[in-house]
Chains A and B, each alone.
Chain A
């Protein structure tokens, strides 16, 4: 959970400081990619964590 929280904080700090949107593009892109990948992986792996 740590990476998305960090990126969220970084992106929000820049937004609140009135920095241009282009500057937070990297953070937003990786947040989106990370969410997509990990939601998929977690859904796939959840059954493996449950007792058979």
Chain B
């Protein structure tokens, strides 16, 4: 077993520890959200989904931004580790996007009265999700590692450019999706108890994202070193 293989195992182990911590934190966030955070007056209990939906969206957009940044660096430095990192972040981002796209309609049905609407924000998020599904498919379709990394990096950068559009849509359109309540020019418009739970959940989701990316990176490294190329 080479030292690099040991390194791959070490990253997986650390990634699993971080993921475990994140899952523990997630359980605590659920308790905090359900027991120690007031029920919103107009929306009632469905508003609690907000504490999963918003952090999942944050983690997804953060992951896709990391893919883009790693892709830019890859095209510049041509370091295969950056490509593997981008691949890992893209997969983690897809997981969080799925959470976001599932919890959104679960909230939308009782509050808007519909599971889905072709609103600018929702449509854009779906397009971003499809773009990264395409990123996965592209990685599976190109066999030469160098070519695959190059092509994937270009798609990754396109994804990074789309991320600000997702945030801007609520300002540019009359949309059903609520306006930002925390990431906006003026102060956050949430009571402290709700803001506290939201921030706790944001932190936990960021830890989970870190754990997922580390574990996936270690698995990819191990697969590469085991001889078979981790075919994307």
Chain A residues with CB under 8 Å of B157's CB are 41, 45
A39–chain B nearest beta-carbon distance, Å: 11
Is A8 interfacial (CB-CB < 8 Å)? no
Contact residues on B (Cβ < 8 Å of other chain), bracket: 10 to 19
Majority DSSP secondary structure for residues of B touching A: helix
Is A43 interfacial (CB-CB < 8 Å)? no
| Chain A-chain B contacts (Cβ-Cβ < 8 Å), number | 38
CA distance A1 to B213 in the complex (A): 29
Q: A3-B124, A26-B174 are in contact. Are A38 and B161 (CB under 8 A)?
A: yes
Is A49 interfacial (CB-CB < 8 Å)? yes
Q: A3-B124, A3-B127 are in contact. Are A41 and B158 (CB under 8 A)?
A: yes
Closest to B151 in A: A49
Q: Which of B102-128 contact A (CB under 8 A)?
A: 120, 123-124, 127
Chain A residues with CB under 8 Å of B158's CB are 38, 41, 45
Is A2 interfacial (CB-CB < 8 Å)? yes
Q: A45-B157, A49-B150 are in contact. Are A34 and B172 (CB under 8 A)?
A: no
- Chain A residues at the B interface, C-beta cutoff of 8 Å: 2-3, 6, 26-27, 29-30, 33-34, 37-38, 41, 45, 48-49
10 example contacts (A-B, Cβ-Cβ < 8 A) are as follows A3-B124, A26-B120, A26-B174, A29-B172, A30-B173, A37-B161, A45-B154, A45-B157, A45-B158, A49-B151
